[in-house]
């Protein structure tokens, strides 16, 4: 298969600028590798609200469900913060995740050699770090009922519910075990089984899947708070981590920062297989919309480009091409190309978003 459809949703803030570089990379693969992409672009987040009065229109939702994969830039910005909850840019993203049922969110935290000095931790603790957090993405406290704000005046109550079914836990556990098998065969499951029943069930079901389907994978369990502590103490003890939606949100930010460069980290959100045999999938950088630098041409396009590399690997089974693209990014970093976020005094050559895209494409050309 060499022909795929893509829906590109650049979104807000720096989303459109970094996505432009991804489009150039996509063109390169079309021309040099003869993988053809049928690309359509649309709006999500604040820009969708400005145009349609909603952060994700029904039509865009329908398109997202019909394509082979969705690429998303970033959503959000200060002008939208005062909107009603259901109109906020983030709701567009959450709707995509929920309605596409993208239950497994893969967040690699990889420390690039050229950037090991950037971490707030000592270099030997992070250099060579390569862990994968698998965050459950369509359930838990993000979506559980009841939810809301009840009552009046000084007697109001804010309510959210953590709720997990057996099936929801087992399917994300399977995704994590599968990944572990392709890596170093170790999985650590994190919850708060000491205080939460949903955590007790989580631990029981992960154990069940382990015993019955993946006994060869080395499984451990940790309370999520201890996990956070271990992540900053000695992150290299981990290979794959699987955890619920809220803990995964927090732990993955923590893991991302270990690498010292949020601008480098991609993510994939994967659901069940479609009729085509490809999984439902959405790829997005871990960084946000960074409104303070939007439009300045300073943003780092690497995370978004690496998200496309994840699409090549996990959606289109183009592993060699994914590796090639990842290699190109590593090479340009090693050669000293630095967007502003990666600059440290007297280290490397400051480049713009576009120039970083150039450097990566030139490197692809060199390796061709
Ligand atoms: C993330 C973000 C989102 C989340 C926000 C933007 C809704 O923090 O993808 O980690 O909380 O899931
Ligand atoms: Mg987050």
Whether 225 is catalytic is yes
Q: Do residues 11 and 71 make contact, with C-beta atoms less than 8 angstroms apart?
A: no
Question: pLDDT at position 141, please?
Answer: 98
Number of CB atoms found within 10 A of residue 61's CB: 18
Question: pLDDT at position 204, please?
Answer: 98
Q: Do residues 43 and 55 make contact, with C-beta atoms less than 8 angstroms apart?
A: no
366: closest CA among 305, 337, 336, 324?
324
Distance (Å) from CA 39 to ligand 2 centroid: 27
Quickly list H helices, the chain: 15-33, 46-52, 58-66, 89-99, 123-126, 166-182, 197-213, 224-233, 245-258, 302-314, 319-334, 353-367
DSSP string covering 267-284: EEEEEEE-TTSSEEEEEE
Question: Across the chain, how many H-helices and E-strands are there?
Answer: 12, 14
Minimal-distance CA residue to ligand 1 atom 5: 90
Distance (Å) from CA 307 to ligand 2 centroid: 16
Minimal-distance CA residue to ligand 1 atom 2: 249
Q: Which residue among 93, 104, 282 is best mutated to probe the pocket of ligand 1, counting the most ligand atoms within 8 A of its Cβ?
A: 93
CA distances from 1 to 11, 36, 272 (A): 29, 10, 19
Q: Per-residue pLDDT tens for 199-220?
A: 999 999 999 999 999 999 999 9
Three-class SS of residue 165? coil
Three-class SS of residue 122? coil
283: closest CA among 271, 273, 268?
268
Spatial separation of the C-alpha atoms in residues 197 and 212, rounded to whole Å: 23
Beta bridge partners of 285: 266
Spatial separation of the C-alpha atoms in residues 165 and 147, rounded to whole Å: 17
Residue keyed to tokens 């910005």: 77
Could you list the pLDDT tens digit for every one of the 368 residues in the chain?
A: 789 999 999 999 999 999 999 999 999 999 999 999 999 999 999 999 999 999 999 999 999 999 999 999 999 999 999 999 899 999 999 999 999 999 999 999 999 888 888 888 999 999 999 999 999 999 999 999 999 999 999 999 999 999 999 999 999 999 999 999 999 999 999 999 999 999 999 999 999 999 999 999 999 999 999 999 999 999 999 999 999 999 999 999 999 888 878 889 999 999 999 999 999 999 999 999 999 999 999 999 999 999 999 999 999 999 999 999 999 999 999 999 999 999 875 578 999 999 999 999 999 999 98
Question: pLDDT at position 316, please?
Answer: 97
Spatial separation of the C-alpha atoms in residues 65 and 51, rounded to whole Å: 21
**Which of 49, 68, 192, 244 is an active site residue?**
192
Minimal-distance CA residue to ligand 1 atom 12: 249
Three-class SS of residue 292? helix
Distance (Å) from CA 249 to ligand 2 centroid: 5
Question: pLDDT at position 1, please?
Answer: 79
Minimal-distance CA residue to ligand 1 atom 7: 90
- Burial of residue 250 (CB within 10 Å: 0-12, 13-18, 19+) is middle
**Phi/psi at 147 (5° precision):** -145, 160
Whether 142 is catalytic is yes
Whether 253 is catalytic is yes
Spatial separation of the C-alpha atoms in residues 14 and 35, rounded to whole Å: 27
Length of the chain measured in residues: 368
User: Which residues neighbour ligand 2 (ion) by CB within 5 Å?
Assistant: 249
Distance (Å) from CA 365 to ligand 1 centroid: 35
Question: pLDDT at position 347, please?
Answer: 76
Three-class SS of residue 342? helix
Q: End-to-end alpha-carbon separation of the chain, Å?
A: 21
Nearest-atom number in ligand 1 for the CA of 76 is 6
Handedness of CA 40, 322, 328, 308 (dihedral sign): positive
Contacts of 82 (CB under 8 A, 6+ apart): none
Q: Which domains occur in the chain, in start order?
A: 1-109+263-368 (3.40.718.10), 130-258 (3.40.718.10)
- Burial of residue 196 (CB within 10 Å: 0-12, 13-18, 19+) is middle
């Amino acid at each position: 298969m060499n022909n795929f459809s893509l829906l590109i949703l650049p979104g807000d803030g720096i989303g459109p600028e970094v996505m432009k570089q991804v489009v150039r990379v996509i063109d390169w693969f079309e021309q040099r590798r003869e993988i053809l992409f049928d690309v359509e672009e649309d709006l999500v987040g604040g820009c969708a609200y400005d145009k349609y009065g909603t952060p994700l229109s029904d039509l865009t939702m329908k398109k997202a469900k019909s394509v082979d994969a969705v690429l998303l830039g970033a959503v959000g910005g200060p002008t939208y913060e005062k909107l009603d909850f259901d109109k906020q840019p983030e709701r567009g993203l959450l709707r995509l995740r929920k309605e596409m049922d993208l239950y497994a969110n893969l967040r690699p935290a990889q420390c690039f050699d050229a950037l090991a000095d950037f971490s707030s931790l000592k270099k030997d603790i992070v250099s060579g770090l390569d862990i994968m957090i698998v965050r459950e993405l369509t359930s838990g406290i993000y979506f559980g009922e009841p939810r809301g704000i009840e009552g009046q005046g000084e007697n109001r109550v804010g309510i959210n519910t953590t709720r997990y079914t057996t099936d929801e836990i087992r399917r994300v556990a399977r995704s994590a075990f599968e990944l572990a098998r392709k890596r170093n065969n170790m999985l650590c499951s994190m919850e708060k089984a000491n205080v939460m029943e949903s955590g007790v069930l989580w631990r029981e079901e992960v154990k069940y899947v382990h015993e019955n389907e993946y006994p060869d994978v080395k499984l451990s369990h940790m309370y999520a708070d201890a996990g956070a502590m271990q992540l900053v103490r000695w992150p290299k003890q981990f290979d794959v981590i699987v955890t619920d939606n809220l803990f995964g949100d927090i732990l993955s930010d923590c893991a991302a920062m270990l690498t010292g460069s949020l601008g480098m980290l991609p993510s994939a959100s994967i659901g069940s297989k479609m009729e085509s045999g490809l999984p439902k999938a959405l790829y997005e950088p871990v960084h946000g919309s960074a409104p303070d630098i939007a439009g300045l041409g300073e943003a780092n396009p690497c995370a978004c480009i690496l998200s496309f590399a994840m699409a090549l690997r996990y959606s289109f089974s183009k592993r060699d091409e994914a590796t090639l693209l990842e290699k190109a990014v590593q090479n340009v970093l090693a050669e000293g190309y630095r967007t502003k976020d990666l600059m440290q005094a007297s280290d490397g050559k400051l480049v713009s978003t576009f120039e970083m895209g150039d450097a990566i494409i030139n490197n692809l050309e060199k390796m061709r």
